[in-house]
Amino acid sequence: MTDVKNVEQENNNTFSLVRQENGIAHLIMDVKGDTMNTLKAEFGEEVSEMLKEIRQDQTIKGIVLISGKADSFVAGADVHMLANCTSAAEATTLSRQGQIIFDQLENLSIPVVAAVHGACLGGGLELAMACHAIVCSDSPKTALGLPEVQLGLLPGGGGTQRLPKRVGIQKALDMMLTGKQLRAKQALKSGLVSDVVPHSVLIQTAEKLALSGKVKPKARKLSVMDKLLEGNGLGRSILFSKATKMVLNQTKGNYPAPLKIIDCIRASAEQAPSKGYQLEADHFGQLVMSDVSAQLRQLFFATTDMKKEQGVEGVSPEKITKAAVLGGGLMGGGIAFVTATKAKLPVRIKDISHQGISYALKYGYDLLNKKVKRRFMRHSEMQSQLALITGTTEYTGFGDVDIVVEAVFEDLTLKQNMVADIESHCKEETIFASNTSSLPIGQIAEKALRPENVIGLHYFSPVDKMPLAEIIAHEKTSDQTISTTVAFAKKQGKTPIVVKDKAGFYVNRILAPYMNEAAILLLEGCSIEALDKAMVKFGFPVGPMQLLDEVGIDVGSKIGPILQAELGDRFAPPAAFSKLIEDGRLGKKSKKGFYQYNTNSKKKLVDESVYTLLGLQVSNTNVTEAQVERCVYMMLNEAARCLDEGIVRNARDGDIGAIFGIGFPPFLGGPFQYMDKIGAVTIVSKLNQWQAEFGERFTPCDTLVKMAEQGERFYN
- CATH number assigned to the domain comprising residue 542: 1.10.1040.50
Of the pLDDT bands very low, low, confident and very high (cuts 50, 70, 90), residue 410 is: confident
Q: What pLDDT does 501 receive?
A: 96
Residue 231 has a pLDDT of: 78
Instruction: Specify the pairing of strand 133-137 against strand 112-116.
Output: parallel
Does residue 349 sit in the same domain as residue 393? yes
Is 317 domain-assigned? no
Cα–Cα distance measured from residue 500 to residue 420, given in angstroms and rounded to the nearest whole number: 23
**Do 543 and 535 contact (CB within 8 A), yes or no?**
yes
Q: pLDDT (tens digit, 9 = 90+) per residue, 163-174?
A: 999 999 999 999
User: Is 299 part of any domain?
Assistant: no
What pLDDT is attached to residue 562? 84
Number of independent structural domains in the chain: 3
pLDDT value for 217: 66
Q: Mean pLDDT score of the chain, rounded to an integer? A: 93
Q: Beta partners for 617?
A: none
Confidence of residue 589 (pLDDT cuts 50, 70, 90): confident
List CB contacts of 385: < 8 A, sequence separation 6 or more.
Answer: 340, 341, 364, 368
Q: Is residue 77 part of a domain?
A: yes
Q: Are 704 and 640 in contact (CB under 8 A)?
A: yes
- Let me know whether 705 and 654 are in one domain: yes
CA dihedral 424, 427, 428, 434 (to 10 degrees): -70
Average pLDDT for residues 698-708, to the nearest whole number? 97
- Convert the pLDDT of each residue in 491-517 to its tens digit: 999 999 999 999 999 999 999 999 999
pLDDT of residue 3: 45
User: Is residue 471 domain-shared with residue 521, that is, in the same domain?
Assistant: no
CATH assignment at residue 412: 3.40.50.720
Query: Considering the domain boundaries, does residue 604 fall inside one?
Result: no
Q: Are residues 478 and 572 in the same domain?
A: no
Residue 59 lies in a domain: yes
Q: Would residue 470 show up in a list of annotated catalytic residues for this protein? A: yes
C-alpha closest to that of 583 among 554, 563, 620, 556: 554
Residue 295 is assigned to a structural domain of this protein: no
Catalytic-labelled residue, pool 470, 517, 529, 629? 470
Of the residues 288, 315, 343, the one at which a domain ends:
288
- 337-366 pLDDT per residue, tens: 999 999 999 999 999 999 999 999 999 999
Highest mean pLDDT: which range of 358-367, 443-452, 564-573: 443-452
One domain, residues 93 and 217: yes
Q: What is the CATH number of the domain that holds 208?
A: 3.90.226.10
Residues 387 and 466 in one domain: yes
Containing structural domain, residue 464: 323-501
Q: How many residues does the chain have?
A: 716
The pLDDT, as a whole number, for residue 375 is: 76
Q: How far apart are CA 163 and CA 299, in angstroms?
A: 27
Q: Are residues 453 and 519 in the same domain?
A: no
- Do 515 and 497 belong together in one domain? no
What's the distance, Cα to Cα, between the start and end of the chain in Å? 56
Q: Considering 434, 466, 501, which residue would you say is the last residue of a domain? A: 501
643 and 688 housed in the same domain: yes
Q: What does the pLDDT average to over 298-320?
A: 94
**DSSP-derived pairing of the beta strands 62-67 and 72-74:** unpaired
| Secondary structure of 430-481 in HEC code, one letter for each residue | CEEEECCCCCCHHHHCCCCCCHHHEEEEEECCCCCCCCEEEEEECCCCCHHH
**Is there a single domain that holds both residue 106 and residue 182?**
yes
Within-domain flag for 130 = yes
| pLDDT > 90 in the chain, percent | 82
What is the identity of the amino acid at 398?
F
- Phi-psi map region of 124: left, alpha, beta (phi>0 left; psi -120 to 50 alpha): alpha
Q: What pLDDT, in 10s, does the model give residues 208-260? A: 999 998 777 666 666 777 777 787 888 899 999 999 999 999 999 999 999 99
Q: Is residue 315 part of a domain?
A: no
| CA gap 356, 232 in Å, rounded | 56
pLDDT band at 559 (very low <50, low <70, confident <90, very high): confident
pLDDT band at residue 7, thresholds of 50, 70 and 90? very low
Our separate counts of H helices and E strands in the chain read 30, 18
Domain closes at, from 470, 501, 532: 501
**Residue 4 banded pLDDT, cuts 50, 70, 90:** very low
Query: In 524-552, where does DSSP find H-type helix?
Result: 528-538, 544-551
* Residue with more model confidence, 569 or 451: 451
Residue 5: is its pLDDT beyond 70? no
Give the single-character DSSP code of 42.
T
Of 69, 64, 53, which Cα lies nearest the Cα of 20? 64
Residues 6+ apart with CB under 8 A from 641: 647, 701, 703
Same domain, 485 and 554: no
Return all residues near 374 (Cβ < 8 A) that are at least 6 apart.
Answer: none
The residue type found at 194 is S
Q: Are residues 453 and 552 in the same domain?
A: no
